[in-house]
Structure 1
Amino acid sequence: MRVLYLHPAGAYGGASKSLIELFSLMRQSAIDGTVLTPGGSAASAFADAGMSVVPVRGLSQFDNTRYGHYRRLRWIILLRELLFLPGSLWTLWRMRGEQFDVIHVNEITLLPLGIIAKKIFRRPMVIHVRSLQCAPPGNWRTRLVNGWLARHADAVVPIDHTVAATLGRDLSLEIVHNGLRVDAGKHLDGAAQGARGTVRVGFMGVLIALKGIYELLEAMRILKNRGVAIECVIAGENARNLKGLRAWVLRKLGFARNVRADLEQMIHDYGLEKHVQLLGFVKDVRSLYPTLDILCFPSHLDAAGRPVFEAAFYSIPSVVAVKDPLPDAVLHEHTGLAIPSPEPELIADALQRLAEDHVLRQTLGRQARDWAISNFSIESSASTMVAIYRRLRSKDERKQ
């Protein structure tokens, strides 16, 4: 079965990693994958995973996510999407002679382009929803997106119940968790911390403001001033490193920041050189988890991300910014600590509590591992997705 994947981001992150791990197991069921994606580290990772990669400068998106939805000056971002549209359409049109069985859109922001791809290839479409959507049901953009899903999507697959709750109530949804494949050996919590003399907190993810990385640095400043024995390692690729006039204009409008440079400046200004380490892009973060004691996910997305579940497999509890966590996001006081928003003081308080309570940290870590094994089996996720593909192909063949 040939599947065409549309993936929006060039930088390697949680969405690309989740798709790669899913595909690595699905290919055992004779799934052949071609991915249309911007060039970058994600494209290289897709190729290494055995997928055929069709690079493009950018894929045109429509953002109605809770964090990134268009408002005020953010409407200007649509100009970028319009600039990407001709190249996106031309690439799809050049591929029109290829035969695919299913189109898999790897994020709902690509829904409009996915609809066009569906019309070009005349094949059923799966929409993978990885981000929380703009909540107000009366919002015209939300009504538009839900209407597109109802009319054009043959399967809508949110990654968890938190995401599902932000979609239209009349939609038929099939939740497929971000399944994980990890080689989680014995966690080194006690021995590793004893050798370092400090507790180590980790941040994993692309360096963008919505991930709460600035707030985490502020929290580390607070913890330093409190005298807490804690250090932080940050593993992630700089999403944007723009130069010239374009960079100046985007920064003035607040749409682009060189996050890596900002963090380096903050570390210098706050005197955190001995407390915070920027690792840059790490291809295999599995080598880092056994060295961590706490995982911090202080995102503005009000949801738990892939690193939270990965860390859980290594018996590592998390501090997660999520206001009303559902059971498949984080269990407050059981698998980690949930804070209502990514405010530096709240992050610092939660990290300090785990850093100074070794028994609590280990207890939450053990419970997190049991929870992860029960909820995020890669085998189960892959089996469910293959079943969706086969059902859609069978239905499509009956129509022909």
Structure 2
Amino acid sequence: MRILYMHPAAAFGGASKSLIELFACLRQQGVTGTVLTPRGPVCKAFTDAGMDVRPVRGLSQFDNTRYGYYRRLRWIILLRELLLLSFSLAAIWRLRHERFDLLHVNEITLLPLAILTKWVLRIPMVVHVRSLQRTPGNGLRTRLINHWLARHADAVVAIDHTVRQTLDSKLQVEVVHNGLVIDNPPAGSGGHSRALVTVGFLGVLIALKGIYELIEAMRILKERGVQVHCLIAGENARQLSGLKAWVLGKLGFARDVRADLERLIVQHELQGHVSLLGFVGDVRTLYPQLDVLCFPSHLDAAGRPVFEAAFYSIPSVVAVQDPVLDAIIHEVTGLAIPRPDPVLLADALQRLVENDAFREQLGRQARAWAQDNFAIGANAKLMHGVYLRLQPSSDR
């Protein structure tokens, strides 16, 4: 099978990493992949994975996610999507004479553009839903998105049951977890008593990841005299300058988060408590240094680092209001707090920092849970089964 993948982001992140790991397994089943994606660091990662990369200046999206949906000044973001539309259409048109068996859309925000791509290429479409959507029935846009999925998607795949719950209950949705490639990981340091416990944060440095709340939580823990150190691994989502940076900054759409964090660390005298590592190319070198993983996202969901850390016997503190069993199990694989509140975050971290036995127990249970849910082989097999069901019988 030859699959056309559409991926929305130029930066290398969790969604692209998950797709690469999935493709590595599918490739062994005879799948070849062409990926249409914005120019950026992700292009090299896809190329290194053996995918045929078709870079484009940008792909137009329509964001109806729980956090990013258009409202008030955020409607201005649609201007960017309209500006990118001509580049998107040209990229799709150039593919019209190539033969593909299936279109795999790597995030629901690409759905309008993907529907057009499906029509041009006349192939089945899988929509991979990775982000939490607005509550079903919440407004015309949400109903429209679910209507488009029902009418145009030949298969809808959600990355977990938390995401699935934000889609229309009438939709046929298959849950396929992000499988992780982690070869015999050593246990993290979380199970060992030490004078200084290390908390880790991994992710792009943007406000919605809860990074500001984490810094404030570290300030609170310092005031309480809790012996803990925080390692923050990640880079700014975008580097902007000039007029564009000024305009977006005034509208609240662009922040130099790294500079903000550096300022806050100095302001609160946290130099001995927080370290900014920047981008870490191989996170396998980082996890063995951690005792606890912190994921205080505003997205009300557990992210990829939570599952990766679990393979290293590292429990997590996650901001999620109603955790389901494939996100985090409260007081079994980690601790869930209902929102990314600095005090709640500090309380949860302090509990794990000061109770070595409890932290070690959660780490062991997290590892077993991860092995049961996120092994790459089993989840790649499920996705391959979706592909096979959609492949025309004459091609099987």
Please tell me the TM-score bracket, short chain as reference: over 0.9
SS at match of 1:29: coil
Q: Give the aligned partner of residue 59 of structure 1.
A: 59
* 1:24 equivalent in structure 2: 24
Partner of 2:139: 139
Partner residue, 1:329 = 327
* Secondary structure in 2 matching 1:249: helix
Q: Which residue of 2 aligns with 1:9?
A: 9
Q: Which residue of 2 aligns with 1:110?
A: 110
Q: Which runs of 4+ in 1 moved over 4 A?
A: 190-193, 395-398
1:130 alignment counterpart: 130
The whole-number CA distance in structure 2 between the counterparts of 1:184 and 1:362 is 19
Name the CA distance, whole Å, in 1 between partners of 2:241 and 2:190: 45
Counterpart-to-counterpart distance in 1, 2:42 and 2:307: 20
2:186 corresponds to: 186
Conserved 8 A contact 1:299-1:321 = yes
What is the correspondence of 1:237-316 to structure 2 with a 5 Å cutoff? Answer: 237-316=235-314
Tell me the amino acid that sits aligned with residue 8 of structure 1. Answer: P
TM-score, normalised with respect to structure 1: 0.96
Structure-2 change in CA distance of 1:313 and 1:190 (3 Å): closer
Aligned to 1:206: 204
CA contact (8 A) 1:184 1:314 kept: no
Tell me if 1:156 matches 2:151: no
For 1:20-51, what per-residue CA distance to the aligned partner results, in whole angstroms no more than 9, with x for missing partners?
Answer: 11111110001111111112222221111111
Q: Which residue of 1 aligns with 2:86?
A: 86
Shift of 1:227: 1.2
Aligned letter for 2:10?
G
Q: Partner letter of residue 323 of structure 1?
A: Q
Equivalent position amino acid for 1:338 in 2: A
The separation in 2 between residues aligned to 1:396 and 1:74, in whole angstroms, is 47
CA shift for structure 1 position 386: 0.9
Within the candidate set 362, 381, 384, 2:382 is matched to 384
Q: Is the Cα contact below 8 Å between 1:240 and 1:259 reproduced in 2?
A: no
User: In the alignment, is the contact (CA less than 8 A) between 1:123 and 1:396 conserved in 2?
Assistant: no
Tell me the equivalent position of 1:219.
217
Residues 1:270 and 1:25: Cα distance change in structure 2 (over 3 Å): same
What residue ranges of structure 1 are gaps of 5+ in the alignment?
A: none
Between stretches 17-26 and 132-141, larger displacement belongs to 132-141
The residue aligned with 2:354 is: 356
For 2:217 and 2:121, the matched residues in 1 are separated by 50
1:136 Cα deviation from its structure 2 partner: 4.8
Q: Give the TM-score normalised by structure 2.
A: 0.97
Distance 2:393 2:65 in 1: 31
| Aligned-pair Cα RMSD in Å | 1.4
| Bigger mean CA offset, 263-272 vs 348-357 | 263-272
Would you say 1:40 and 2:40 are equivalent positions? yes
Give the secondary structure class of the aligned counterpart of 1:233.
strand
- In 2, the alpha carbon distance for the partners of 1:178 and 1:162 equals 13
Distance 2:246 2:348 in 1: 37
Mapped contact 2:176–2:382 kept (Cα < 8 A): yes
1:232 aligned partner? 230
Tell me if the contact between 1:201 and 1:293 (Cα under 8 Å) persists in the aligned partners.
Answer: yes
CA distance in 2, matches of 1:198, 1:184: 26
What is the aligned-residue identity percentage? Answer: 67
Give the superposition deviation at 1:185: 3.1
Change (3 A) 1:360 1:33: same
Partner amino acid, structure 1, of 2:15: A
1:69 partnered with 2:69:
yes
Cα distance in structure 1, aligned partners of 2:92 and 2:166: 30
SS in 2 for 1:174: strand
SS in structure 1 of the partner of residue 28 of structure 2: helix
Query: How far, CA to CA, are the matches of 1:96 and 1:9 in structure 2?
Result: 23
Aligned residue identity for 1:139: G
Distance 2:394 2:67 in 1: 36
